[in-house]
């Protein structure tokens, strides 16, 4: 993993940021990996095997259809995710993004992560495309609950009001990514962003790639921060092969404390 600052690229980004009024951050599992959260797959991933110990693929276990057919099985693996994030907290990368909200005219964050770290770090202009693991809803009535430690609940959890199954407010496999958050994203994209950062995501989903291509077509700046190459690495204008925390902290430090000539 490369951690040494790429000084020329960082200095170029600082100059661009000084002329920018609007920023979009797109974040994936890599930004939270620096908080000790395992990524979904890959080196150190939570699920690096083809099938679970129950003989089904993890995508099937964490699917909407399995939640209906066998909720205990789905919740077993949801609880494992809860255990993996237990005790972890947001890191410097999340903090820098939140701090930037107060220094620029318009800053939004589109995240694929369900850990809620952007929110706890202070980000307010946030679109959680896949939902939030700490927000639970009844599948029948309007009961909702917030829970810090997901691993501590009974499996599968039942609604205290009507007794129906409770589920986390996340997008399971087989479900569409839609709702007011995505509608808001489209509205913000139509306004355009001076600079778009892709951070810690492999960018395999079209809706994650789209803001990069839209920015490029509009003549705006695109940046990737990721130690590994991804589907957009050859597309972006600038690339930092660094951990997110180190890269963003250095960019932000130089932005706030310009060197004297």
Three-state DSSP at 165 gives strand
User: Given 118, 130, 134, 184, which residue is catalytic?
Assistant: 130
Q: Does residue 130 have an active-site annotation?
A: yes
Alpha helices in the chain (DSSP H): 7-18, 29-33, 58-61, 64-69, 71-85, 92-100, 117-121, 180-191, 206-217, 244-256
- CA neighbor of 88 nearest in space, from 59, 61, 113: 113
Q: Which phi and psi (to 5°) does residue 13 adopt?
A: -65, -35
* Residue 12 to residue 220: CA distance in whole angstroms: 14
Residues designated as active site? 130
């Amino acid at each position: 993993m490369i951690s040494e600052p790429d000084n020329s690229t960082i200095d170029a980004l600082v100059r661009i940021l000084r002329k920018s009024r609007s920023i979009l951050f797109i974040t994936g599992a890599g930004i939270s990996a620096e908080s000790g959260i395992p990524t979904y797959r890959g080196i150190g991933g939570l699920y690096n095997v083809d099938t679970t110990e129950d003989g089904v693929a993890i995508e099937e276990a964490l699917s909407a259809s399995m939640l209906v057919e066998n909720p205990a099985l789905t919740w077993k693996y949801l609880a494992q995710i809860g255990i993996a994030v237990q005790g972890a907290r947001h890191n410097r990368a999340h903090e820098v993004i939140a701090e930037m909200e107060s220094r620029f005219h318009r800053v939004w964050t589109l995240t694929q992560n369900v850990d809620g770290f952007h929110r706890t770090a202070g980000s307010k202009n946030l679109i959680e495309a896949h939902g939030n693991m700490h927000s639970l809803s009844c599948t029948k009535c309007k009961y909702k609950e917030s829970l810090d430690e997901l691993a501590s609940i009974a499996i599968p959890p039942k609604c205290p009001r009507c007794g129906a199954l409770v589920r986390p407010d996340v997008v399971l496999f087989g479900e569409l990514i839609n709702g007011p958050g995505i509608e808001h994203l489209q509205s913000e994209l139509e306004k355009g962003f001076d600079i778009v950062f892709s951070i810690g995501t492999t960018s395999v989903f079209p809706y994650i790639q789209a803001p990069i291509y839209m920015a490029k077509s509009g003549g705006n700046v695109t940046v990737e921060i990721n130690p590994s190459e991804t589907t957009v690495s050859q597309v972006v204008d600038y690339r930092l092969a660094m951990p997110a925390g180190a890269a963003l902290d250095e960019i932000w430090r130089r932005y706030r404390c310009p060197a004297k000539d």
